Amino acid sequence: MKILHVEGGRNLYGGAQQVLYLLEGLHQRGVENLLVCRAGSDLSHAAAPFATVRGLHMGGDLDVSLTWRLHRVMRGWRPDLVHLHSRIGADVMGGIAARLAGVPAVYSRRQDNPEARWAVALKYRLHHRVVAISEGIGRVLLSEGLPAEKLVCVRSAVDAGPFLRPCDQAWFRRAFALEPDAAVIGVVAQLISRKGHRFLLQALSDLLGEFPRLRVLFFGQGPAEPEIRRQIGELGLEGVVTLAGFRRDLANVLPCLRVLVHPAIREGLGVSLLQASSAGIPIVAGDTGGIPEAVRDGVNGLLVPRGDVVALTQAIGRLLRDPDLAQRLGRAGRELMLREFSVDGMVEGNLAVYRQVLAEEERAIG
């Protein structure tokens, strides 16, 4: 089986990490992979052991010429199936290119943002299957008119192994200039509006009254960084909140947090939630999108209504105040990840989709 994958992300964030897991798992199962991605992207280097990598210019949703660049690759390599992993033009331009090349296409939908029904009706005609990474995304797609027979849910996964390690407290406090008695919570998310960093910033004034040694680390990059810095300054939180940037060593960082906070107002699933649970860290998150599939309220974390600063404050305070509860949720989260979010399960789920689509194509031809 020969599969061409298209991923347009620049950095090895959640979606691109899922593509990397998939490429490695398919390679181990004897599948031949070709990856088309942005030239020089993090994924282009990380995927080299598992795929033939072709770097292309990918200019985004309005880059119509991407259709022809992808079409040339498809015609030259002649894959059995195309798997489109991102938007950034890949969903539409890649779908058109696959249609022109006569190759069936599968599209992974990773976000739960709404789409117009007319757009759903037009765009998803290009795809033989739409793979939702959570049931939450699947419900959104169905509500917007996607035919049920086109939809498959294959949840995102986490390689729990690297996160099953104790915290090196001395390293952690040196790396982030933390006081020995600091209580540290973190957010691991792109710095974009829908991740909800502002709600945690608003919650901190009340939390600091009870927990004056509380410190917050924001991990990630994104266009909202200037606005977040402005909010930190206006609220007088310069000594409390640190923008720690994009980190490749989250397996060392996450075990050292007291709580992972994810106050998103929209989220497909949330890879950082899977990673934190693998590290045994309890989570406070917004009850939206696919988050309740990764964070079970009262099992491995606490869910709050999205955008509700009061509820967010109360949930974080509850975990900081009750270390026994935090430890119980952390242990349950690790068990949940190993049981329901394995990489093998995700790879097999996608492989089953490929086989089903190719079998249908064979029947149609025969």
Asked whether residue 67 falls in the same domain as residue 185, the answer is no
Asked whether residue 263 falls in the same domain as residue 304, the answer is yes
Asked whether residue 186 falls in the same domain as residue 278, the answer is yes
Asked whether residue 114 falls in the same domain as residue 196, the answer is no
What are the C-alpha distances in Å from 113 to residues 110, 133, 265? 9, 13, 10
pTM of the model: 0.86
Asked whether residue 293 falls in the same domain as residue 361, the answer is no
Say whether pLDDT at 236 is over 70. yes
Q: What is the pLDDT of residue 59?
A: 78
Asked whether residue 248 falls in the same domain as residue 115, the answer is no
Q: List pLDDT tens digits, range 178-197.
A: 999 999 999 999 999 999 99
The rounded distance, in Å, linking the Cα atoms of 271 and 294 is 9
Q: List pLDDT tens digits, range 103-115.
A: 999 999 998 888 8
- What mean pLDDT comes out for the span 7-32? 91
Which of 6-10, 94-98, 203-207 is least confident? Answer: 6-10
Asked whether residue 233 falls in the same domain as residue 284, the answer is yes
Say whether pLDDT at 366 is over 80. no
Asked whether residue 153 falls in the same domain as residue 173, the answer is no
Asked whether residue 330 falls in the same domain as residue 356, the answer is no
Asked whether residue 89 falls in the same domain as residue 183, the answer is no
Asked whether residue 169 falls in the same domain as residue 275, the answer is yes
Total domains in the fold of the chain:
2
Q: How many residues does the chain have?
A: 366
Domain that holds residue 53: 2-157+342-365
- Listed residue (349, 366, 363, 362) closest to 129, CA to CA: 349
Asked whether residue 176 falls in the same domain as residue 118, the answer is no
- CATH for 199: 3.40.50.2000
3-class SS of residue 26: helix
Contact yes or no for 232/239 (Cβ under 8 A) = no
Rounded to 5 degrees, φ, ψ at 299 are -105, -60
Which single residue is written with the structure tokens 């061409």? Answer: 4
